[in-house]
Chains A and B, each alone.
Chain A
């Protein structure tokens, strides 16, 4: 029998007494949808093995993990790692740096693609517009290693950026070793890599604005600037709001791969963030403290998740739309 025929035959889920036990319901459900369950099985196994098993591994944050003893055999230490973390001499530094980098990145990186989308929207020549789009998407496809390598080359003693800095009255130096230069380097290279890609969503929102609104504005005598202010921007506002709220929800997520590629001991003072610190303590160190690093990671994840839930709730309250 085919699935469809089976479905028709079993349209009535109740037996002669008008009831079905839970077991029967489940058995019937599996019979009806056995291929769907068969297909989702490898996916479920994948998430069990590579997502939920490591979540279980989080208990080592409450233990003193020794690889020799295994996760189960290691002894419990309660909240020791967390109290140690809150007394860590680097705690203030890494939280301050994480928040600074994140906020600067939002402050400059968030409006940039909106501005690009608005400018592109004013371009009348379609071919020119498409070319600009294709070109600005490009850096998104260049690997982080290559991007950071280029940043490094330009920042070295006689590199391009350093020459520019000298032209504006700076001294000849390796900019990547200069504490004051790290945030601008991080933020600008991020904008360079993301601006085109992130503008796609705004361009999509712009294309859905009703053309009649522009016509009405023109009849009322609005010039192009007035049209941007009174038609385009209000049309973009819902998209901007929800993306902004979601961006705020991941405020502790800084691009730590990029920081690992760019920083050095000379600028830990400004560049070391929570995730790079736990990476050094838990992986790079010659005597890695797995449990301590896991505790830091758990703290980070919980704060992140609470931010996300809070801003998602806020988003639902204010814009009626959210992630879940």
Chain B
């Protein structure tokens, strides 16, 4: 993509841009800069608000060009608040438990899809693909998880999303790009398929694995709806559900969980923004480094869904 872009730039530079063209360039750049500002401003707003003085923020919550006052208290409180800490801990447990399962299952599924010669290959793939287009729906899925006895455990948030068909297709495409000769020579050396997957395929498709980790990780990190269905105990809620209770439902669970209420009141508004910052910034720091790879992933997924 970038190389052809460069070529275009070079060839077009031969032509002297006329005044109309230059006007368009200025207009285009302005428009794109505006879009970037609109995209970035909400995040900037959150950061400013998180450092603001609580009362100043409450009285003038509109346009924030810079923090109103300066106060780190919200962060100190957020990092020590039991519900935010437990929310963070819970999502970390979920990630630690789910990501290895996700990656291994996706590798297995992708490898099976990319292999050929099995009699049951087509029917099994058809059964797997069908689940992309039809599902039991909210209530049967909910009753199923309940009947399996997973409610009020973090397993309810790990097991039902163990493997995604879409991600398996991305994985399959990456495996297909690995030369067959590598697999064949491993066969001759006495390796079986399991060994081939872990010793040969896995290291060769590392960029794709990184993208899969990003996709699965972000979907766990940002998920909140399943926890509202399956988890009753506030101390077991992942961080997004704590955020939802505080930010959307205006619940006072942050107050109820600690004894020094006056301290919370002092930061009632700013602690919300501090919580947003500490839950959003980790993801935002990771994705630019994987951009090159997930762009490829999107192309694969969209071209052959």
- Residue A278 interfacial (CB < 8 Å): yes
Expressed in whole angstroms, the Cα–Cα distance for A204 and B295 within the complex equals 9
Q: Which residue of B lies closest to A163 (CB)?
A: B62
Per-residue B-contact encoding for A149-164, CB less than 8 Å = 1, 0 else: 1101100101110110
Contact-residue bracket for chain B: 35 or more
Residues of A within 8 A of B229 (CB): 283
In the complex, what residues of B have CB within 8 A of residue A116's CB? Answer: 35
Interface centre among B5, B35, B108, B187 (most CB of A within 10 A): B5
0 or 1 for each of A294-305: is its CB under 8 Å from B? (1 = yes): 100110110001
B177 touches A (CB below 8 Å): no
- Asked whether any CB of chain B lies closer than 8 Å to the CB of A214, the reply is yes
With A51-B131, A201-B299, A305-B134 as given contacts, are A146 and B243 in contact (CB-CB < 8 Å)?
Answer: yes
Chain A residues lying within 8 Å of B129, measured Cβ to Cβ, are 324
CB of A19 closer than 8 Å to a CB of B: no
Contact of A47 with B138 at beta-carbon distance under 8 Å, contacts A138-B39, A152-B247, A152-B248 already known: no
Quick one: given A57-B136, A294-B140, are A158 and B62 in contact (CB under 8 Å)? Answer: yes
Question: How long is the Cα–Cα vector from A150 to B302 in the complex, in angstroms?
Answer: 30
B70 within 8 A of A: no
A25 on interface, CB distance cutoff 8 Å? yes
Which residues of B have CB within 8 Å of A53? 136, 144
- Chain B 24-70 residues near chain A, CB threshold 8 A: 24-25, 28-29, 31-32, 35-36, 38-40, 42-43, 45-46, 60-63
Asked if B1 and A204 make an inter-chain contact with CB atoms under 8 angstroms apart, the answer reads yes
Given A57-B136, A144-B224; A283-B142 close (CB under 8 Å):
yes
Give, as a whole number of angstroms, the nearest-CB distance from B248 to chain A. 6
Of the candidates A26, A50, A145, A282, which one forms a contact with B144 in the assembled complex, judged by CB atoms under 8 Å apart? Answer: A50
Q: Is the CB of B138 within 8 A of A275?
A: yes
Q: Min CB distance, A24 to chain B, in Å? A: 12
Interface membership of A16, Cβ < 8 A: no
A44 neighbours in B (Cβ, 8 Å): 124, 127-128
A21 contacts the other chain (Cβ, under 8 Å)? Answer: no
B3 to chain A, nearest CB (A): 9
Q: Size class of A's contact patch? A: 35 or more
Interface segment out of the listed B92-100, B188-196, B259-267: B188-196
Q: How far is the CB of B295 from chain A (nearest CB, A)?
A: 5
Contact for B127 among A47, A123, A201, CB less than 8 A: A47
- By secondary structure, the B interface counts as helix
Asked if residues B119 and A29 are in contact (CB atoms below 8 Å), the reply is: yes
Contacts of A290 in B (CB 8 A): 139, 143
A55 engages B140 (CB within 8 Å)? yes
Scan A275-310; emit 1 where CB is below 8 A from any B CB, else 0. Answer: 100110011000000100110011011000100100
Checking B35, B193, B298 against A200 with a beta-carbon cut-off of 8 angstroms, the contacting residue is B298
Asked if B187 contacts A4 (CB within 8 A), the reply is: yes
- Do B295 and A282 have beta carbons less than 8 Å apart? no
A137 is contacted by which of B35, B45, B287 (Cβ under 8 Å)? B287
Q: Say whether A132 contacts B135, CB under 8 Å.
A: no
Most buried by B among A4, A305, A323: A4
B283 interface contact, C-beta 8 A? yes
The 5 closest A-B pairs by CB, nearest first: A54-B136, A297-B137, A57-B140, A149-B247, A143-B222
Q: Which residues of A contact B (CB under 8 A)?
A: 2-4, 25-26, 29, 32-33, 35-40, 42-44, 46-47, 49-58, 60, 71, 116, 119-120, 122-126, 128-139, 141-146, 148-150, 152-153, 156, 158-160, 162-163, 192, 195-197, 200-201, 203-204, 207, 211, 214-215, 218, 223-225, 243, 246, 257, 260-261, 275, 278-279, 282-283, 290, 293-294, 297-298, 300-301, 305, 308, 323-324
Binding site for A on B (CB under 8 A): 1-2, 4-9, 11-13, 15, 18, 20-21, 24-25, 28-29, 31-32, 35-36, 38-40, 42-43, 45-46, 60-63, 105, 108-109, 111-112, 115, 117-120, 124, 127-129, 131, 133-144, 148, 159-160, 162-163, 184, 187-190, 192-194, 197, 218, 221-222, 224-225, 229, 240, 243-244, 247-248, 272, 276, 279-280, 283-284, 287-288, 291, 295, 298-299, 302, 305
